Structure 1
Amino acid sequence: MIPHLWGIYREQQHSPGREFDDAEILRLVAKHVEAAGCQVHLKTPEDLRGANDPSPSLVFLMCERIEVLGLLEPLEMKGIPHVNPLQAVLNTYRDRMIPLLAASAIPIPKSRIISSNSSDPDHPSPQPPTDPFPIWIKRADVHNTQSGDVELVLSPEELRITLASLHGRGISRVVLQQHIPGDLIKFYGIGKPLASHRKDVWFQWFYHRDQELARYPFSEEALQTLTQQAASAIGLEVYGGDAIVTPAGEFFLIDINAWPSFALFREEAAPRIAEWLLRRLRQGALS
């Protein structure tokens, strides 16, 4: 029987300014999987509600919301492979990610998870950070849905205003995070490096634009090792994220997320993701 896979698009509200890039990587991966002899049905998160389609052989997904992942949970409970696993996607929420990375000794900026509610007497205003400003304030769940989800604040007054804005949007918890000066790097990865040979994984990095680069020297191998250790701690198989390289050539991991757009490397990454999905499909058939 021909394997039948589902691909699930990211929620539109989770792709601000990246709607095309996010959708295109999924479509291109599906094209490569179909070229290998499989059938692929691409779905929006809304398509999952009330769907009575036959169960797929594997699900590959970019969706992130808890309620949407819950619609896929019965399939995963039946043993149908998901890339990324649903728990790994949930682990990218910052309030879960930060403790997991810290427990795995991944170097991250000093971070504190607090309530955004500074007006309720049961939730008093947070104590000013012990580290000097500027600091970052970020929503504690998903990574970025619109302007204001991640802000660099320069003073206690800006912190108060930003907290009030996030609370007014219904975001109950936020992360206060130390600002680390240095060069900002974006990375992409595919595979399970700690359970595979290095040749079985794919990794790329580049400098974020819109920054004044110092081009501090660093070890690319050390960067790859760090990001793969972080992906393993979260449980991700297709991932991307951000890191800072300091003047001393040290790294701080800022974020890691599930299935990015791979925009600058889409043509290169798509066949490698498809290869990984087919490998996972074969593993599932043998289990």
Structure 2
Amino acid sequence: MSNRALGIYREPEFSPGKVEPDAAILDATMAELKREGVGIQTIDAISFASGAPPRADLVLAMCQGPRALKRLAEVEQAVAVAINSALSIRNCYRDLLAPGLERAGVPTPPGALVPADEPLDARKLAGLDLSAGVFVKRGDLHALAPEDVQRAADRAEVEAILADFARRGIRFAYVQQEVVGRVVKFYGVSGSAHFSVHPEGEEVAEAAVRALSEAASAAAAALGLEAWGGDAVLSGDRFAIIDFNDWPSYSRVRGPAARAIARRAMSLLGRPR
């Protein structure tokens, strides 16, 4: 009997402005698996979370909401391979992301998780220099709106942003030290299946790409991710990873990424479980 793969689309509320690109990378990956003789089926996250999921040996999960992740964890216990696993997706929520990057030992700016609806405790920000600039990010998911990541130049601005978060129902915020340099986006698939860096301006030196690839791969392993991406700030020959995401849209490299994810999936299916 051939293997069967179930693809789960990301919830629209977690794909602001990227519903179609997110769906496109999942569809492209499923098409690659179909060429390998794998039976495929796709489902939206709400249906997956609320009903009995179809039998599958492989689950390609872009969902991020708590209900879908709970169901995904149950499916994994039934011996299905998951890209990405429920735990690894949850590890990309900001409250767990920073500790995960620290475990990986990768260059990342210092930061602190603080309540948005309580008076600011300066002791929690002791490792940060507010006068050098910080970014205040919603403390659960990645940015769902432009206001979910804001720069602050001093304590007063941090407090004002926290108050705005609290008014919008965001309970926690992650305050991250600003790093000066140019921001680059990177995409990866574990098992050395794919890694690419995408600067907005001049190309990145090969040595820097190799170093970033090693660091990002270590971060992905610590978080448990198979399909991943993120942002880094380059300054000379140094870099810092400032964000990490489970299964991005891979918009700039959709074809190669889909083939890489499919290869990684087939490799994982071949392993004893």
CA distance in 1, matches of 2:15, 2:147: 14
Instruction: Pick one of 225, 228, 242 that aligns with 1:239.
Output: 228
* Helix, strand or coil at the partner of 1:5: strand
Change (3 A) 1:214 1:83: closer
Which amino acid is the alignment partner of residue 101 of structure 2?
L
Change (3 A) 1:53 1:181: closer
Q: State the partner residue of 1:253.
A: 241
Q: Quick check: 1:115–1:172 contact (8 Å CA) kept in 2?
A: yes
Pair 1:59 & 2:59 matched: yes
- What is the number of residues matched between the two proteins? 268
* Displacement of 1:154: 2.9
* Helix, strand or coil at the partner of 1:63: coil
Q: State the partner residue of 2:120.
A: 125
1:25-104 matched pairs, under 5 angstroms: 25-104=25-104
* Helix, strand or coil at the partner of 2:146: coil
* Displacement of 1:53: 4.3
Change (3 A) 1:236 1:53: closer
Instruction: Pick one of 201, 204, 215 that aligns with 1:226.
Output: 215
* Displacement of 1:278: 1.5
1:98-177 matched pairs, under 5 angstroms: 98-117=98-117, 123-127=118-122, 130-177=129-176
Note the residue ranges of structure 2 that are not aligned, 5 or more in a row. none
The superposition leaves residues 243-287 of structure 1 with CA deviations (integer Å, 9 ceiling, x where unpaired) of 11113x11111111110000010012111111111222222xx32
Q: Quick check: 2:57–2:79 contact (8 Å CA) kept in 1?
A: no
* Displacement of 1:13: 1.0
CA distance in 2, matches of 1:281, 1:64: 23
Note the residue ranges of structure 1 that are not aligned, 5 or more in a row. 118-122, 193-199
Give the CA RMSD over aligned residues. 1.8
Q: Give the TM-score normalised by the residue count of structure 2.
A: 0.92
| Percentage identity across paired residues of the two chains | 29
Change (3 A) 1:14 1:50: closer
* Helix, strand or coil at the partner of 2:175: strand
Which amino acid is the alignment partner of residue 276 of structure 1?
R
* Displacement of 1:216: 7.6
